[in-house]
């Protein structure tokens, strides 16, 4: 029987400052190597030397931007056995970050599962657990001229979904994107977790945060910009 294409609903959500530590912990729970635990150079070295990461591909361009990718056979952070788990770190170049040209990277995990009604049920549950870790830390309102309703479990789509999370005070790029789909060309379910972060003075920061910024203040940039001079 042919499978209907996945339908993805896109939600744009703004995260308050209190949710930043939750993103750091979330990444630590779902990625085997956590970029927020050490200096960026140490993180890249740990990822590239991870013995459990197979079929590694590494690339460094003229700007010293690093990319690392590979797949795991024994690592699976989900509540259902994955047939394949891939991870990739990719530079997206320098972006304007509160008026400063700053290197940014996307850290992505892709997991694939054999498709079945029971598997979809478990994936939807895992997807909601991921969203539920953030939803009470987010403010809901206007973004790009759109108003978005609160996230509710009963509104979850049964064939696929994509949710973008934005930090308050920085909405130029999504800090985190969660997706699950059922690609029409395969008999699998695919889950993607993408986290974008900034690298400043060899440290990794969730988007919306930077050195010298107090916990509950968004625009105290003096210390950070002076440090970069």
Tokens of 24: 């750091």
- Report yes or no: 208 and 138 within 8 Å, Cβ to Cβ: no
Number of domains in the chain: 1
Residue 221: inside a domain: yes
Residue 181: inside a domain: yes
Count the Cβ atoms, other than its own, within 10 Å of residue 80: 17
Residue 69: inside a domain: yes
| Domain enclosing residue 26, as ranges | 10-227
SS3 (DSSP) at 210: coil
Determine the Cα–Cα distance for residues 213 and 222; give it in Å rounded to an integer. 9
Determine the Cα–Cα distance for residues 69 and 79; give it in Å rounded to an integer. 23
Determine the Cα–Cα distance for residues 30 and 6; give it in Å rounded to an integer. 24
Q: Give the angle 115-121-126 at the CA atoms, nearest 5°.
A: 100
pLDDT digit of tens for each residue in the chain (229 aa)?
333 344 444 455 555 444 555 778 889 999 999 998 889 999 999 999 999 999 999 988 766 678 999 999 999 999 899 999 999 999 999 999 888 899 999 999 999 999 999 999 999 899 988 888 776 555 443 344 455 556 665 666 667 888 888 776 677 888 888 999 988 878 899 999 999 999 988 988 888 776 655 444 434 455 555 555 5
For residue 162, list its beta bridge partners: 10, 179
Residue 64: inside a domain: yes
- Give the global pTM: 0.81
Determine the Cα–Cα distance for residues 173 and 162; give it in Å rounded to an integer. 15
Residue 2: inside a domain: no
Residue 3: inside a domain: no
Residue 1: inside a domain: no
Residue 4: inside a domain: no
């Amino acid at each position: 029987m042919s499978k209907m294409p996945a339908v993805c609903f896109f939600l744009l959500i703004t995260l308050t400052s209190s949710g930043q530590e939750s993103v750091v912990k979330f990444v630590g729970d779902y990625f085997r190597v956590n970029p927020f635990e050490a200096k960026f150079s140490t993180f890249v070295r740990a990822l590239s030397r991870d013995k459990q990461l197979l079929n590694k591909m590494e690339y460094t361009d003229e700007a010293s931007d690093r990319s690392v990718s590979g797949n795991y056979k024994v690592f699976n952070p989900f509540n259902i056995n994955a047939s394949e788990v891939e991870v990739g770190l990719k530079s997206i170049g320098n972006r304007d970050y509160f008026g400063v040209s700053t290197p940014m990277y996307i850290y992505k995990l892709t997991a694939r599962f054999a498709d079945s009604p029971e598997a979809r049920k478990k994936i939807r549950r895992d997807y909601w657990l991921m969203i539920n870790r953030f939803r009470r830390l987010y403010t809901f309102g206007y973004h790009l001229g759109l108003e978005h309703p609160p996230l509710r479990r009963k509104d979850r789509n049964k064939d696929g979904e994509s949710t973008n999370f934005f930090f308050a005070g920085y909405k130029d790029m999504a800090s985190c994107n969660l997706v699950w789909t059922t690609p029409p060309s395969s008999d699998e379910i695919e889950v993607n977790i993408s986290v974008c972060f900034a690298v400043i003075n060899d440290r990794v920061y969730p988007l919306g945060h930077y050195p010298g910024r107090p916990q509950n203040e968004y625009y105290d940039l003096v210390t950070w910009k002076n440090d970069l001079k």
